[in-house]
Amino acid sequence: MRYRKRIYYTEKQKALMWDRWQAGDSLHEIARLFDRHHSSVRGIFERSGGMRPRARRRSARSLTLAEREEISLGIAAGRSVRSIALRLGRAPSTVSRELRRNGGRDDYRASWADAAAWNRACRPRICKLARHRALARQVASRLKLQWSPEEIAGWLRRTYPDDENRQVSHETIYKTLFIQARGALKKELLAHLRQTRAMRRPRGHTQKKRQIKQAVSIRERPAEVEDRAVPGHWEGDLLMGTQDSQIATLVERQTRYCMLVRVKSKDTKTVVNALIKQAHKLPRELYKSLTWDRGKEMADHKRFSLATDVEVYFCDPQSPWQRGSNEQTNGLLRQYFPKGMDLSKVHQNHLNAIARRLNERPRKTLGYYSPAEKFAECVASTG
């Protein structure tokens, strides 16, 4: 392996790294810009948990380098502290403290004093969760329930609208988790996040390409489905596990209400039979259409429509975002069914319990009400 001489990255190079990181480049791609191994740049991102640190700025009240040069010239000319302060338009105590901190009249050097002041200013800020331990405990308890930081922050705002000491932003929660120097939340809580990475980074999107015969395009879907004005329109997909195992996930577009269905195999007959059985459990008013991706498991979609009177629409190729509610829910479900898990051993009762827990979580898009609350309103309206 070729030996590379150690280098120290400049601020300009670090800025380029952060630009590429935010654009979605991998550590390997960023490191290649500098002919380095990925471990050479990883530490730069890990120190701030993958979140770009705020640019440092001098306080407007601090002495500038030009003012420190004036102090140095005044000392060399033998002027008093008060006369130097008068020329600068500063208080005499400001000049006195500056000299006392940086070697006194005999050893004062403007450039050294300016660098020392910049280093002293790099003090860690105490985060809100470290100052309010009761709030930190409340956040930790809901992280253990697999609530996302954004859901926690929104629920706190809705529950305590007039008490800012009992509210916290989702970014503060993320920073406290990923930057462990803050010490307010334990590192073990990272395991309860949907993505259990050590750093935050932009997400990629999984794209699928399938061919379905006689597929009705999503572009032919009625307008009432698109604008979520009417309940009863669903999105579906298969959540895959190991050993050729999977579960069907169904999400109602208006309320984000989720149902999970155990399927023994992903052949179209088994999947369609399971979806037909699930459809018959709901009132007709609450099951009007189903939007699916291009998976072959729905090749027999015509039989499903004949048995349930539910029209099936298919997304465009490589467009999973057209089933955004279902994709979002599948991401949430990975907290309970991580990749690499054998889903064939999961009982339907356990799936129902997970769906209930997911439906009781507050959602930002619902004004931090839960899907269960919104779906219950729809059920009540049908009588």
pLDDT in tens, 326-347: 999 999 999 999 988 999 889 9
Whose CA is closest to 92, among 84, 100, 103?
A: 84
Same domain, 242 and 369: yes
Same domain, 87 and 177: no
Number of domains in the chain: 4
Cβ neighbours of residue 235 under 8 Å, at least 6 residues apart? 250, 251, 253, 290, 291, 292, 323, 325, 326
Give percent above pLDDT 90 in the chain. Answer: 46
Mean pLDDT, the chain, integer: 86
Q: pLDDT higher for 207 or 172?
A: 172
> Residue 315 carries which DSSP code?
P
Please report the pLDDT score of residue 34 as a whole number.
83
233-240: strand order across its sheet: 258-263, 246-252, 233-240, 289-292, 311-314
Out of 97-101, 180-184, 187-191, the most confident range is 97-101
Confidence of residue 325 (pLDDT cuts 50, 70, 90): very high
Same domain, 164 and 24: no
Containing domain of residue 270, as a range? 218-382
Please report the pLDDT score of residue 252 as a whole number.
95
In a domain, 33, yes or no: yes
Please report the pLDDT score of residue 383 as a whole number.
64
Same domain, 314 and 222: yes
Over residues 276-304, the pLDDT tens digits come to 999 998 888 899 999 998 888 999 999 99
Exposed e or buried b per residue across 112-128, where buried means at least 16 C-beta atoms within 10 angstroms of its C-beta: ebbeebeeeeeeeeebb
Q: Which two tokens stand for residue 306?
A: 């004949």
Same domain, 238 and 283: yes
> Per the confidence metrics, is the pTM higher than 0.85?
no
User: In this structure, what CATH number is given to the domain that contains residue 343?
Assistant: 3.30.420.10
In a domain, 281, yes or no: yes
Largest CA distance in the chain: 99
Q: What are phi and psi of 236, to 5 degrees?
A: -140, 160
Same domain, 134 and 113: no
Q: Is the pLDDT of residue 196 over 70?
A: no
In a domain, 198, yes or no: no
In a domain, 136, yes or no: yes
Confidence of residue 351 (pLDDT cuts 50, 70, 90): very high
Cβ neighbours of residue 273 under 8 Å, at least 6 residues apart? none
Listed residues 192, 208, 230: the one ending a domain? 192
Over residues 44-60, the pLDDT tens digits come to 887 777 878 777 788 88
In a domain, 107, yes or no: yes
